[in-house]
Amino acid sequence: MSSSIETLELHIFTDASENAYGCVAYLRLVVHGAVKCSQIMSRAKVAPLKRQSIPRLELMAAVLGARMRQTIMETHSLRIGQTILWTDSRTVLSWLQSDQHKFKQFVAFRVGEILELTHMRDWRWVPTKQNIADVLTKWGRSPPLHNELEWVHGPSVLYLPREQWPSAETIEETLEETRGIMLFHAVVEAETISSWTKLVRVVATVMRFISNCRRKRIGLPIVTYQSSEYHCRLIQAEYSTIKKPLQQEELQKAETVLLRQAQFESFPNEMNTLTRNLQRKDDQPQERIEKSSTLYKRSPVLDEEGVLRVRGRLETNEELPFDMRFPIILSEKHNITKKLILQFHYKYGHANRETVFNELRQKFWIPKARAAVLQATRD
């Protein structure tokens, strides 16, 4: 029998639902031009008691399928020429094609294990209606084995020529389960940088470096300062460059990064609650800030850039600037706040403290602001 086998392939189908996840494996043989299939292994698990999203469960099914492939390859006596793993989840395929380090730990660890046991080229998309593993996950009182021959001898898709196998034309990159944390390298050294202006420029430079790394990876020219003649020759010898100083947009993004970092460090519970609310779906209830919070009476909200702001009576007055209607919340004890106060103090020529206070309140809401101004200017 083995001498008459033209090709021997291992096909593993994975699927998940709210109740269970699992996978089933088939051997596909071509003998004298005829296709024969047979089920050799299947496995299913009940979904965890802690409720998980369907994409996460689909990923857990993919992990189960990758482990099953490893077991079969190590124990089967026949020489398998190719392995193909099927899933109906475009999200899982997108995760496998992307950099695992940008996802949350749950996804990153499982994607890493899958890619250790399999290759990305082994994974294919299959429509849900043609996914035989659906039998393992969607059942009532008994499994829906309406066509037992298909369950035992393989789904109809395996009997088609390879050219007619289903495939997804494009798998779009998904933002689901990506880490919600930006890089705040310069903030760690904030106390060692003397002024707010220098701190903003340092962070903007770091962000430009990160942007240049991404541009270089996709073949775009990198952006650099007007460097010395030697440095320009050194850079141009390797990459095409665009020379321009830090732009206002880059400085504004750096300011946003610093302000958000200060708010996460000063008001972690409030920031996490409001961030989760933004990520929730329309049919899910919103979390509320605890009444014991110092910001509870200020009705804090997050703007489009994730900066914490105050809602008040001025929000309906559209003639006022946005920052005045929704001031940015900062803690009076944070080092970023002290640098901002000193920046305003220097900007207005070491004016009296009331001037600094009035200028700050045009954009920021700082608890005990007058005391904070007094403390910062005294130091």
Strand partners, 20: 46
* Domain housing 248: 180-266
Boundary (domain end) residue, out of 266, 295, 313: 266
Amino acid 374 reads: L
One domain, residues 114 and 218: no
Distance separating alpha carbons of residues 7 and 30, to the nearest angstrom: 5
pLDDT digits (tens, 9 = 90+) for 314-333: 888 888 888 888 999 999 98
Q: In the sheet that 328-329 helps form, which strands lie side by side, from edge to edge?
A: 301-302, 308-309, 328-329, 364-365
What percentage of the chain exceeds 90 in pLDDT?
A: 32
In this structure, is residue 324 part of a structural domain? Answer: no
Q: Are residues 97 and 242 in the same domain?
A: no
Say yes or no: 77 and 13 in one domain: yes
Helix (H) or strand (E) holding 334: none
**Nearest-CA neighbor of 223 among 246, 202, 200?**
246
Which amino acid, 145? L
- pLDDT digits 0-9 by tens, 72-129: 998 888 888 899 999 999 999 999 988 888 888 889 899 999 999 999 999 999 998 8
- In-domain check, residue 334: no
Q: Would you say residue 107 lies in a domain?
A: yes
Q: How confident is the model at residue 145, as a pLDDT?
A: 63
Mean pLDDT lowest for which of 143-147, 161-165, 287-291?
143-147
CA triple 194-206-95, angle to 5 deg: 140
- What is the total count of domains within the chain? 2
Report residue 190's pLDDT band, with 50, 70 and 90 as the boundaries: very low
160 and 184 together in one domain: no
**Is 379 contained in some domain?**
no
pLDDT value at position 188?
Answer: 42
CB neighbourhood size of 318 (10 A): 7
Residues 103 and 152 in one domain: yes
Is 300 contained in some domain?
A: no
Q: Do 190 and 98 reside in the same domain of the chain?
A: no
* Residues 261 and 235 placed together within one structural domain of the fold: yes
Give residues with Cβ within 8 angstroms of 373, minimum separation 6. 341, 345, 353, 356, 357, 360
- List helix spans (H) across the chain: 54-75, 90-97, 105-117, 134-137, 148-153, 196-217, 229-236, 248-266, 268-279, 322-325, 335-347, 353-360, 369-378
Q: Which of 245, 266, 287 is the last residue of a domain?
A: 266
Q: Provide Rg for the chain, Cα atoms.
A: 29
Determine, yes or no, domain membership for 365: no
Average pLDDT, the chain: 83
Is 373 among the domain residues?
Answer: no
Q: Are residues 150 and 190 in the same domain?
A: no
Q: 226, 249, 266: which is the final residue of a domain?
A: 266
Identify whether residues 101 and 241 lie together within a single domain.
Answer: no
The answer to whether residue 275 sits within a structural domain is no
7 and 41 co-located in one domain: yes
Q: Residue 153 is part of a domain; what is its CATH number?
A: 3.30.420
pLDDT of residue 211: 87
Q: Of 220 and 128, which is predicted with more confidence?
A: 128
Q: What is the pTM of this model?
A: 0.49
Half-sphere exposure of 115 toward its Cβ, with a 13 Å CA cutoff? 16
The angle at the Cα of 176, spanning 174 to 179, to the nearest 5 degrees, equals 110
Regarding whether 115 and 216 lie in a shared domain, the answer is no
Residues 31 and 121 in one domain: yes
